[in-house]
Amino acid sequence: MDFNLTKEQRDIQRAAREFAEGEFPDRAEEFDRDESFDEEIFKRAAELGFVGVWIKEEYGGLGMGMLDYCLIMEEFTVVDPGIAIAIVASPFGAEIIQSFGSEEQKKRYLPPLVTGEAVMGSAITDPDAGSDLAGAVSTTAIKEGGDYIINGSKMFITNGDRADYLLCFVVTELDNPDRHNRHSMIMVETDREGFEASHLTGKLGIRASDTAELSFNNVRVPCTNLIGELGQGFKEAMYLFNLNRTGIAAQAVGIARSALEESIRHVKKRHAFGASLASFQATQFKIADMFTWIQAGRNLVYEAAWKIDQKNIDHKLIAAAKSFCGQMAVKCTDMALQMHGGYGYLAEYKVQRLYRDAKITEIYEATTEIEKLVMARNLLG
Ligand SMILES: Cc1cc2nc3c(=O)[nH]c(=O)nc-3n(C[C@H](O)[C@H](O)[C@H](O)COP(=O)(O)OP(=O)(O)OC[C@H]3O[C@@H](n4cnc5c(N)ncnc54)[C@H](O)[C@@H]3O)c2cc1C
């Protein structure tokens, strides 16, 4: 067993870190405060090949694997989690096109995502259906001639207000009682009549990332916008979740590592009772625990990602990575803030932002509780 990354992987890591350090720090606080983002940063990331790295070369991408993607995610996130997610999630959901779309759909939708000419999102969650997707999603797409007519609404959609096209998880098989065979994935261009996106404000963290509520009022799209197989949307969504959960686990590792780096800097500089904070055993134990948990989380991420690259999707390992890393990021940022004392409570200290950003890794792409259910189902049968 070789635990070393290849030279190519170390080069990707270095390039991602250099790009993020050059572009993110000056704007991170502003984007967080104003809940804004500068698309120019995204365009530069796309020019350098950091967007949709896993898209195959024939569709303009670099054809990289999940492990490469996780390396970029961690390095970007260490510098700023909000900007990182705004960039790397810009082609959110395109994995479904690449895996289940027709050749014509791949050629139409994938290349503009890599060049940064287009942004996409995946509209899966309904206002009344997050964890219980199969049972409760009620947005419908009814066939009428050569079109689908879409009605309903979607909640918490990343890039909802930014996207040029959105892959929507909708009920198409209304009469099918089998909750796992009722949904399909349909692409909706956001300039279609009857579509509306409202940007959601007041998020706790990752505030540079756009999140929106969507409404579909008799939105008409051609039947050729169906991506994948009719009635198989749930299976396709689960495929997407497995890939993205691994990426979010890498995001959590990046947040925790950033919290550790900030803490080490702070405790070496700050003094109390005539001694450096770093000299107190209580501080040292926190630093040692954070290092151990980050290392354990990263090993879970690397193994889950490596298996995906070997075409061996291990559901319980992915769920373990996402669940462990999310909880670990929340715990590490809490400890980091505590080590910063009152300063950690201030917006000008990065550790406050990390503390707020960490929580999302326990919520999106399935909550910690749902991940534990996935593991339990796999283990108990
Ligand atoms: C910033 C942000 C971005 C997002 N981006 C997207 C996106 O791009 N696309 C998209 O489709 N969705 C997106 N989401 C939605 C996200 O995936 C859901 O919020 C998440 O899956 C949880 O669903 P919910 O909010 O409906 O919570 P609920 O399902 O209502 O869950 C509430 C609580 O109940 C618990 N719970 C539910 N069922 C069970 C059970 N059976 N056993 C034990 N506990 C249970 C949950 O773990 C949770 O703690 C985003 C959310 C946020 C906040």
The domain segmentation of the chain, as residue ranges, is 7-115, 120-231, 235-380
Q: Which atom of ligand 1 is nearest to the CA of 368?
A: 47
Rounded CA gap, 192 and 377, in Å? 41
Rounded CA gap, 220 and 325, in Å? 41
pLDDT band per the 50, 70, 90 thresholds, residue 19: very high
Q: What CATH number belongs to 235-380?
A: 1.20.140.10
**Stretch 317-344: mean pLDDT, rounded?**
98
pLDDT at 269 (0 to 100): 98
**Stretch 80-87: mean pLDDT, rounded?**
97
pLDDT at 85 (0 to 100): 97
- Residue matched to tokens 């309904």: 126
What's the fold here for domain 120-231? Butyryl-CoA Dehydrogenase, subunit A; domain 2 (2.40.110)
3-class SS shares of the chain: helix, strand, coil, % to 5: 55, 15, 30
> Residue 36 carries which side chain, given as an amino acid letter?
S
Rounded CA gap, 359 and 361, in Å? 5
Rounded CA gap, 88 and 79, in Å? 14
For a mutational test of ligand 1's pocket, the pick from 179, 211, 367, 375, i.e. the residue with the most ligand atoms closer than 8 A to its C-beta, is: 367
Q: Strand, helix or coil at 182?
A: coil
How far apart are the two ends of the chain, measured CA to CA in Å? 30
Residue with the smallest CA separation from ligand 1 atom 29 is: 131
- Which of 54, 80, 52, 48 is closest to 67 using CA atoms? 54
* Mean pLDDT computed over every residue of the chain: 97
Rounded CA gap, 241 and 329, in Å? 20
Paired tokens of 257 = 């590592």
105 lines ligand 1 (CB under 6 A): no
CATH 1.10.540.10 correct for 7-115: yes
Q: Annotated catalytic, 365?
A: yes
Cα angle: 244, vertex 107, 364; to 5 degrees: 15
pLDDT band per the 50, 70, 90 thresholds, residue 274: very high
| pLDDT tens digits along 93-110 | 999 999 999 999 999 999
